[in-house]
């Protein structure tokens, strides 16, 4: 009898443990715990901790509370000028209303499928309004395009009552189909060569201006220097003549003799034959007869 009582107690304790285990669940960080009763959400727990449910009647489903990143598949889009371009983008989103999310989408994979469709439609609509050259240009306002696409996708999610929030949509990369790359590369090379030629032409023109200006300044400096040198020489000669006159004026006889002797240097250069009167003063000085 004691053994039967012990077995009964153990079975009851085991049953109690099973019931308690089926009644308890844990809400972790970064997740929603949705309590379902016959498939309908009855309550949602957001704060971490231990919670209770009715065993065998209520079930629990986990949904991510944190932001998720969805990397879309690269797709081919036609631009405004009918050029094909491969666009690769990603989106950041989160579940904002678990009840609406379960009613409309139920699973994360289904939500990402809807997000991918909305992004494709928004990107196609936006880029189809833009010429291909503007998309690949270095001056493209890529940030503005991302903002507009994010707004368009968020509007779809809100209108469809998905219970999700679209935080950001970004174009990671735009690429070309292989068959179009070479022609685009050739065009880019041609554009860069044209830009380089323009820079070289501007540089040559600027060089000519600088050289011409330098030559003009050099000519002006040389002309000014020659004028200054002539002025200085003239002033020097004038001053020399004044000094000579002042010096010779002190002894006219010596000056006359000096001038006569100086003329002999010029007269007898080259040993010429000269006929002079023997009694002339010029001859007497030459012969040393005073």
CA 73, CA 88: separation in Å to the nearest integer? 7
**CB contact at 8 A, 34 and 102:** yes
Check residue 135 and give its pLDDT. Answer: 67
**CB contact at 8 A, 256 and 249:** no
Q: For the residues 186-193, what does the mean pLDDT come to?
A: 82
Q: Percent of the chain scored above 90 by pLDDT?
A: 12
Q: Is the pLDDT of residue 92 over 90?
A: yes
Per-residue pLDDT of 254-278, as tens digits, reads: 777 777 767 767 776 767 766 666 6
In the structure, what pLDDT confidence band is assigned to residue 13 with cuts at 50, 70 and 90?
low
Q: Is the pLDDT of residue 132 over 80?
A: no
**Phi-psi domain of 29 (left: phi exceeds 0; alpha: psi -120 through 50; beta: other):** beta
CA 206, CA 18: separation in Å to the nearest integer? 91
In the structure, what pLDDT confidence band is assigned to residue 285 with cuts at 50, 70 and 90?
low
Report the chain's C-alpha Rg in angstroms: 54
pTM: 0.52
Q: For the residues 22-49, what does the mean pLDDT come to?
A: 75
**201 against 281, higher pLDDT:** 201
Check residue 34 and give its pLDDT. Answer: 79
**How long a stretch of residues is the chain?**
290
Beta strands in the chain (DSSP E): 24-27, 31-37, 40-45, 49-52, 58-64, 68-71, 75-78, 84-95, 164-175
Helix-strand-coil percent breakdown of the chain, rounded to 5?
Answer: 60, 20, 20
Q: Is the pLDDT of residue 136 over 70?
A: no
Per-residue pLDDT of 203-259, as tens digits, reads: 888 888 898 888 889 998 998 998 889 899 988 888 888 887 777 677 677 777 777
Handedness of CA 152, 155, 157, 160 (dihedral sign): negative
CA 169, CA 179: separation in Å to the nearest integer? 28
Q: Is the pLDDT of residue 2 over 80?
A: no
CA 49, CA 241: separation in Å to the nearest integer? 119
């Amino acid at each position: 009898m004691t053994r039967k009582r012990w077995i009964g107690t153990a079975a009851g304790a085991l049953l109690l443990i099973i019931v308690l285990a089926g009644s308890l669940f844990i809400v972790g960080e970064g997740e929603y715990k949705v309590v379902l009763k016959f498939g309908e959400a009855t309550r949602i727990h957001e704060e971490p901790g231990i919670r209770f449910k009715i065993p065998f009647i209520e079930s629990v489903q986990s949904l991510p509370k944190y932001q998720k990143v969805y990397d879309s598949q690269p797709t081919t889009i036609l631009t405004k000028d009918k050029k094909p371009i491969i666009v690769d983008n990603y989106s950041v989103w989160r579940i904002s209303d678990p009840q609406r999310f379960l009613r409309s989408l139920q699973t994360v994979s289904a939500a990402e499928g809807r997000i991918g469709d909305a992004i494709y439609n928004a990107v196609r609509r936006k880029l189809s309004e833009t010429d291909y050259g503007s998309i690949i240009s270095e001056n493209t306002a890529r940030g503005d395009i991302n903002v507009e696409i994010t707004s368009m996708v968020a509007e779809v999610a809100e209108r469809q009552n998905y219970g999700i929030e679209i935080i950001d949509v970004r174009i990671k990369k735009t690429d070309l189909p292989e068959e179009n790359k070479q022609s685009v590369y050739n065009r880019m090379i041609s554009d860069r060569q044209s830009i380089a030629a323009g820079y070289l032409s501007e540089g040559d023109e600027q060089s000519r201006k600088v050289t011409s200006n330098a030559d003009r300044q050099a000519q002006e400096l040389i002309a000014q220097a020659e004028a200054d040198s002539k002025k200085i020489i003239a002033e020097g000669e004038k001053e020399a003549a004044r000094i000579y006159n002042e010096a010779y004026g002190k002894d006219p006889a010596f000056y006359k003799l000096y001038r006569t002797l100086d003329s002999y240097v010029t007269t007898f250069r080259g040993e010429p034959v000269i006929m002079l009167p023997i009694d002339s003063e010029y001859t007497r000085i030459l012969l040393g007869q005073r």
